[in-house]
Structure 1
Amino acid sequence: MPGFIVKAKQDAASSYSSSSIAMDDQTPSSTSPKSVLGRLRRKLSPRKRENPSLSTDSEASKHCSDLQRVFDYFDEDGDGKISPAELESCVRTTGGNLSMDDAEAAVSSSDLNGDGLLDFEEFQKLMEASRDEEKNEELRLAFGMYEMEGSGCITPTSLKRMLSRLGDSKSIEDCKAMIRKFDLNGDGVLSFEEFSYMMR
């Protein structure tokens, strides 16, 4: 794996962990309900970071157990379902901000049977969606560190600049070669989509 990819992944994790702490106090209008839920899931889960690949049965079981613990915390009345009011209340109790409208939207987005509540399976789907959103935020932060200001893409010059800041001096030709490996449309730069593909 090219060094620039490893550094980008480290930068994404570092930037995201510090920015997600800062975002905990933002208003609902500045972040989505799923982002709020993802941060809440991290606060309530005993593990710091989840392994998204869940490569072993024990890891998958631990992940399910962690989600069950979070679900049980949200399910204040113990009926096996989470209502929008319970969701909003739990987020508020843990110091987050989630309006009732946002709580209703979050529940509605994963409510497969249309009863206006989340059972455990539906809750798992909501948490998976929030994790995907978090990954996308991490990638956006990392991409922003490497992109040419305002251009919406990583150019050989912007890649060279960022690598130099990280103590890894490369020539423009080296940077062009790195970009070529993941430049799917051959335009000589990396779009966010190409960067996302590279990082997965």
Structure 2
Amino acid sequence: MYALYGNFEIMSLLNPNDLHQIFENLDKNGDGLVSLEELNWLLEKTSVKFSLGELESLTGKTRLDFNDFSLFYDSISKQNKSSNEDVEDQGDENHEESDLLNAFKVFDLNGDGFISCEELQNVLSRLELWDASSGRDCRTMIRVYDTNLDGQLDFEEFKNMMFLTIS
């Protein structure tokens, strides 16, 4: 979801309790939301610089609740882990495959082994990542990774999409 680069080695060592405490400390007014200004302050402390416009483009929001903040952190951590590891051992590959299968199942709402345009749009809408007025077309999104041209993504196509998106 978020493609970020930078030095997040310190942040990647945080456990969920630490993360929650950081969120609460950033939430100056106690409303359960962190503004992009507050998030940007934290990022600058980790030597990462973004404009507020770039952050809004990356997050799709102007304020993050704890779940959004956690997803943002997870994205940063995974990006950092990927960039710092040149070789993965077989155990990591199996774990990665399992994570991808779980992610695939989130999108495969009817459990038929494929992600259709409707399923993709439904999940992205629930995650507030889809705006019908944006002019985006899920068929076009799927077509980019649909190697067998059946109009939907199977697990292998989904994996290829995820690996191309991350790298």
How does the TM-score come out when normalised to structure 1?
Answer: 0.45
Equivalent of 2:126 in 68, 72, 93: 93
What is the rounded CA distance, in whole Å, between the counterparts of 1:121 and 1:98 in structure 2?
27
Aligned to 2:163: 128
> Which digits, 9 at most, give the CA deviation of each residue in 1:107-132, with x for residues without a partner?
10111111001000000111122113
> Which digits, 9 at most, give the CA deviation of each residue in 1:84-137, with x for residues without a partner?
1111111111121255843212210111111001000000111122113xxxxx
Amino acid at match of 2:138: A
| 5+ long unaligned stretches in structure 1 | 1-7, 27-39, 133-200
CA spacing shift, 1:64–1:125, aligned 2, 3 Å: same
Q: Does the 8 Å CA contact 1:83/1:117 hold for their aligned counterparts?
A: yes
The ranges of structure 1 where at least 4 consecutive aligned residues each deviate by more than 6 angstroms after the TM superposition are none
CA spacing shift, 1:110–1:121, aligned 2, 3 Å: same
How does the TM-score come out when normalised to structure 2?
Answer: 0.52
Q: CA RMSD in A?
A: 3.5
Shift of 1:20: 5.2
What is the rounded CA distance, in whole Å, between the counterparts of 2:99 and 2:56 in structure 1?
21
CA spacing shift, 1:23–1:9, aligned 2, 3 Å: closer
What is the rounded CA distance, in whole Å, between the counterparts of 1:107 and 1:125 in structure 2?
12
Question: 1:1-200 counterparts in 2 under 5 A?
Answer: 9-10=6-7, 14-15=48-49, 23-25=58-60, 43=71, 48-49=77-78, 51-52=81-82, 53=86, 55-97=88-130, 99=132, 101-132=136-167
Amino acid at match of 1:111: D
Shift of 1:22: 5.7
| 5+ long unaligned stretches in structure 2 | 8-43, 62-67
Shift of 1:61: 1.1
